Structure 1
Amino acid sequence: MKRIGVLTSGGDSPGMNAAIRAVVRKAIFHNLEVYGIYYGYAGLISGDIKKLEIGSVGDIIHRGGTMLYTARCEEFKTLEGQKKGIEQLKKFGIEALVVIGGDGSFQGAKKLTEHGFPTIGVPGTIDNDIPGTDFTIGFDTALNTVIDAVDKIRDTATSHERTYVIEVMGRDAGDIALWAGLADGAESILIPEDDFSMDDIIDRLEKGHKRGKKHSIIVVAEGCGSGVEIGKTIEERTKLDTRVTVLGHIQRGGSPTASDRVLASRLGAYAVELLLDGEAGKMVGIEKNQLVSHDIDEALSRKHTIDLNMYKLSKELSI
């Protein structure tokens, strides 16, 4: 093997640049040429591909987002789109590919491998919803962004004696909501992995108010419904002054934490090692702080799970 490619796909996450840097420099260390594919699978189809040198990835380890940019590509979900992508890879002499992204990106990597093109997936998504790894690149940074925001909101909640509903990202996975809610001492945490009862939320708020509690924080994963509507229901039923904050895409940005930089560096380099060892159709991950790899098929066939013991703990500590 003499030449590999790297792309980022789907939603961006802090630490993707650190992963790109690791792929490029690890490959060059082993005398491989590296080509960056811009705008994900869309750029692969259009041939937006350029050679990367050591200096191409200098001064990016601390930057959020992705220097290769990213885009979603419906065309690549089709056989014709996949064949176009492989034609471009052959045109540039690229013999293997590292794909950094989430489950949708891994679906594309799986298809390339099925067509006989060696591909390794690196999990980059703030949702932490990829089976086969304890943590995904970007989760820790997004989590700390939410915690910082909730800390600030708590200050004004205390000053005005208000209840605050804070909606965070997590359409299908409640990791951000659960970890941030537990870290910030939220009174209630709503996650898509478990049913919630408005009666229970109201009861907890009213009990707290009766014992003299002046403010409350409720963290809602977006997959549980609209934070605005939940806030309206709370105010109508409790008559407590209630405000809603939807954090939105602020959670995807920012300089990656040390944890995400180290994780991205380890996973990116490990992906190159697997390609050099002749592996394909694998994803890299970290379990109990050890690097691991799994067949992408296996990872995609499993359902993401959340630590419900942490969820139970959050309820016990917020009495």
Structure 2
Amino acid sequence: MQKIAVLTSGGDAPGMNAAVRAAVRRAAYHGIQMYGVYHGYEGLMYGDIQEMTLGSVGDIIHRGGTILYSARSEEFKTEVGQQKAVDQLNRRGIEGLIVIGGDGSFRGAQKMSEKGVRTIGIPGTIDNDIPCTDFTIGFDTALNTVVEAIDKIRDTATSHERTYIIEVMGRDAGDIALWAGLAAGAESILIPEAENDIEDIVERLESGHRRGKKHTIIIVAEGVGSANYYADEIKRLTGLETRVTVLGHIQRGGSPTAFDRMLASRMGAAAVDLLIEGKRDRMVGIRNNVIVDVDFQEALSQKHQLDLSIYQLARTLSI
């Protein structure tokens, strides 16, 4: 193994830069040339590839986003596009590829592996929705961003004695909503993995008001529907005045937390080590604070499982 490339793909996540830094420096430690692929698979197809040195990744461990940029590519989903990407690597003598991203990025990585490129994936997504790993890079930072926002909104909710409905990211996974809701003491949490009964939400809200509670925080994962819909329904059923906040892309940005920097550094270095060992078609993960690697097919064939015991805990603590 003499040359390795690294790219970031899909939605950006805080900590991606830390993973890139770790991969580049681990490779340099072993005397391996590292190349950065800019603009994801799109850049890979069209040769937007540059050699990276120790200086290339200086002062980036604390930066959010990705210095390699990210882009979605319909062309790469085709056989012709994938072969273009393989040809670009072969032309430069690059033997291994590290892909940092989510499940869509991993499916692309799997295609590259099928075409003979040794490929290793690193899970980087704020949704924490990748199977076979306890955490993905970026989740902890997004979680803390959401909790901080909820804390600030609660101040206003308390001052004006109102119900606030806060919509967070999570189209298919409710991890952000659930963890943030529990950490911030939300009265109701709506996630794709659990039944969301508007009557139950109203009953919990009215129960709180009967005992003198003047404000309520409800967290909605975007995958269960619009926060505005639930706001309208609550007002229709109770007459209570509601306010909606959609946090949006603020959840993706910002300097990564210490946890995400540590996680990204461990995973980035592990990806290089796996390539040196001759492994391919693998994803790096973390389980019980131990770095592991699993076959792409194993990871992609499973469905992310949210710990519903946390959901039940949140319900019992928010009575």
Class of the TM-score when normalised by the shorter of the 2 chains: over 0.9
User: Equivalent residue of 1:219, what SS?
Assistant: strand
1:74-133 CA distance string (max 9 Å, x none): 111111110000000111211110000000000011011111110000000000000010
Quick check: 1:246 aligned with 2:246? yes
Q: Which amino acid aligns with 2:156?
A: T
Report the secondary structure of 1:66's partner residue. coil
2:202 is matched with 202
Q: Distance in 2 between matches of 1:116 and 1:295?
A: 16
Q: Aligned partner of 2:42: which letter?
A: A
Letter in 2 for 1:299: A
Distance 1:75 1:295 in 2: 25
Map 1:302-313 → 2, pairs under 5 A: 302-313=302-313
Report the CA distance between 1:232 and its aligned residue: 1.2
Match of 1:140 in 2: 140
Counterpart residue identity of residue 148, structure 1: E
Residue of structure 1 in register with 2:33 after alignment: 33
Indicate the residue corresponding to 2:268 in structure 1.
268
The residue aligned with 1:48 is 48
Instruction: State the shift of 1:194 in Å.
Output: 1.1
The reply on whether 1:96 has 2:96 as its aligned counterpart is yes
CA distance in 1: counterparts of 2:77 and 2:132, whole angstroms: 23
Q: Which residue of 2 aligns with 1:185?
A: 185
Counterpart Cα distance in 2 of 1:304 and 1:221: 16
Which residue type is aligned with residue 125 of structure 2?
Answer: T
1:1-319 to 2 correspondences below 5 Å: 1-319=1-319
| Structure 1 Cα separation of the partners of residues 101 and 134 of structure 2 | 15
| In 2, Cα distance between equivalents of 1:147 and 1:245 | 13
**1:238: how far off?**
1.1
Cα distance in structure 1, aligned partners of 2:49 and 2:26: 19
Offset at 1:30?
0.2
Gaps of 5+ in 2: none
Separation of aligned partners in 2, 1:137 and 1:161:
37
CA–CA distance in 2 between the matches of 1:72 and 1:132?
24
- Post-superposition offset of 1:237: 1.3
Q: How far off is 1:210 after superposition?
A: 1.0
Query: Which secondary structure does the structure 1 equivalent of 2:26 belong to?
Result: helix
Residue 126 of structure 2 aligns to a residue whose secondary structure is coil
Aligned mates of 2:260, 2:235 — CA distance in 1: 38
- Quote the Cα distance in structure 2 between the aligned partners of 1:61 and 1:239: 49
State the shift of 1:235 in Å.
1.4
**Partner Cα separation in structure 2 for residue 23 and residue 37 of structure 1:** 13
Moved over 3 A (4+): none
The Cα offsets for residues 45-100 of structure 1, whole Å up to 9 and x where unpaired, read as 11100000000000000000000000011111111110000000111211110000
CA distance in 1, matches of 2:277, 2:312: 43
CA shift for structure 1 position 6: 0.2
Aligned residue pairs: how many?
319
TM-score, normalising length: structure 1: 0.99
Counterpart-to-counterpart distance in 2, 1:246 and 1:232:
15
Amino-acid identity (%): 67
Cα shift at 1:228:
1.0
Distance 2:12 2:75 in 1: 20
CA RMSD, 1 decimal:
0.5
Deviation at 1:157, TM superposition (A): 0.2
In the TM superposition, residue 258 of structure 1 has moved relative to its aligned partner by 0.1
Secondary structure of the structure 1 residue equivalent to 2:279? coil
CA distance in 1, matches of 2:66, 2:92: 22
SS where residue 119 of structure 1 aligns? strand
